[in-house]
Structure 1
């Protein structure tokens, strides 16, 4: 897979949660801090405010997308000075409702309808891209911008509001698609000249080419020279460029990616250790075990049993 697809596939664990929620004025809802999780809010109808301790209220309008990648708490409210706040339900509890709304005639039409989503992240497998993400990604609705994101939102809202046969398979896939489109939109911003980090690296064709090669085939006996050839650069300029953008040399990143891939294989497959070692480029099971223990502080077999 490509780098961004791997980021999502590796770091998310379990099934993502989602719900459509209709809010009747006056309203406010606190979303408690959830370490090891990420959440999103999409305003489908009406408007509201995003409130965070110590920060100015953020106005949200229909079509706005908000992504909180680090699980910090926040509040959504119908006004910047909300009434009493109720704590949101835990997305890990069983049978999180897909659609929560009081649409009775007595209640009247809702003031705001939001689409909420939550992801549990496996910190052992979290990609360093996650650390580069800001606390808040806010994508305001603008006509013609991010059409794929808007289409995915429409599909997801339809499935949640009118579940049919196949919805249980479609919703998690759409949530992953939505998350990818959010990250694409963040990565597609115009890079600041001289910037470093993953946003800059994934907008640099040479660095992306080397990263794609490592992700495509981690078992290959890559050298700096071979990766430089993938990037279309000579060895020394490539190594300097990669290290300056990502804060680690190419082969250091390769070792990290191999160990992360191995950890996922150990947790999700019954492949014997020698096969896992070979999948990530180690001909010696002993050498693989040593590298794995340096990364995770435990032997591969114990990691599998306790994962």
Structure 2
């Protein structure tokens, strides 16, 4: 029997990832990511405004600079260092901590996400001293779909350069910088894909380093626990499956009680609570990005009854799925 056009479109527009980290990137982001390669000549200072509902990164590709947080805390950034700002916090960069910053490079508005990619969008006064080049990127996040993995990250993540120890992250940085500096046919497609890769590699690198910090709880510990990761990946791979705690424990290779206790300790909520949250997050994306009937969306996230799906969706998003879709249609 032929599938309906709506169902075919649904599958093409959204294909769930096979692991939790991939889905964090795919589902949380909304709109078009932004990126720029910027060069400053000392003396210089640049203030970056706080942009709630976004995440951003900066990579020093040439020279060095000083970062000062809004609270006055300083960090030295050298060539190859990566700075990730998962919550869009404001900060200042400069050739020295004493350099007077210019006006914010990005105002707290979503309009910047609609601008073209550029290699010189930030134009501070130029000096005649040493050059610092910084690769900047920004993501607009959907607040209702922001994964708890991202919400639990610190204000900023600093990944110092380590020659030969970042075999994935460093090539992604070089590729993105090259695309921005040498625009060619296909750049507008290449840059968003490279930004996804770069954010993924930044998060992967951070979580890989967490065991050295003796992290015993939270998402870093969860992603470094093969048994819990197996259960998370199973839910993300097939959210519509009739999962039970026993079935997820079987995926994890643990007893039911031990799995439930370990999952709750690390993730911060019981397995089926997380499953419901993920199903409703997936449903919100499908409602916003497809025109599939509610019955089809309900089936995709594990509900045989449209009524049961609507009740679960309303408990999570505080509005009925039909109204949610209509509101998002008006917004776009």
The TM-score normalised by the length of structure 1 is: 0.95
Give unpaired runs (5+ residues) of structure 1.
none
Higher mean alpha-carbon deviation, 53-62 vs 66-75, is at 53-62
Q: What displacement does 1:95 show?
A: 3.2
Give the aligned partner of residue 132 of structure 1: 152
- What is the alpha-carbon distance in structure 1 between the residues aligned to residue 222 and residue 303 of structure 2? 27
Pairwise mapping of residues 219-230 of structure 1 onto structure 2 (< 5 A)? Answer: 219-230=240-251
The number of residues matched between the two structures is 305
Q: What displacement does 1:85 show?
A: 2.4
Give the aligned partner of residue 24 of structure 1: 41
Give the aligned partner of residue 3 of structure 1: 20
Contact 1:210 1:231 in 2 (8 A): yes
Give the aligned partner of residue 312 of structure 2: 291
Change (3 A) 1:50 1:146: same
Q: Does 1:243 align with 2:264?
A: yes
Change (3 A) 1:95 1:253: closer
Contact 1:43 1:65 in 2 (8 A): yes
Q: What displacement does 1:83 show?
A: 2.0
Q: Aligned to 1:70, which of 75, 79, 87?
A: 87
The TM-score normalised by the length of structure 2 is: 0.88
Q: Aligned to 1:258, which of 279, 301, 324?
A: 279
- What is the alpha-carbon distance in structure 1 between the residues aligned to residue 104 and residue 254 of structure 2? 53
- What is the alpha-carbon distance in structure 1 between the residues aligned to residue 55 and residue 93 of structure 2? 16
Q: Does 1:95 align with 2:112?
A: no
- What is the alpha-carbon distance in structure 1 between the residues aligned to residue 298 and residue 161 of structure 2? 47
Contact 1:22 1:110 in 2 (8 A): no
Higher mean alpha-carbon deviation, 140-149 vs 107-116, is at 107-116
Q: What displacement does 1:185 show?
A: 0.5
- What is the alpha-carbon distance in structure 1 between the residues aligned to residue 74 and residue 274 of structure 2? 39
User: How much is the aligned-residue C-alpha RMSD, in angstroms?
Assistant: 1.8
Residue-by-residue CA offset, 1:178-210 (whole Å, 9 max, x unaligned): 000000011101425561110000100110010
Give unpaired runs (5+ residues) of structure 2.
1-16
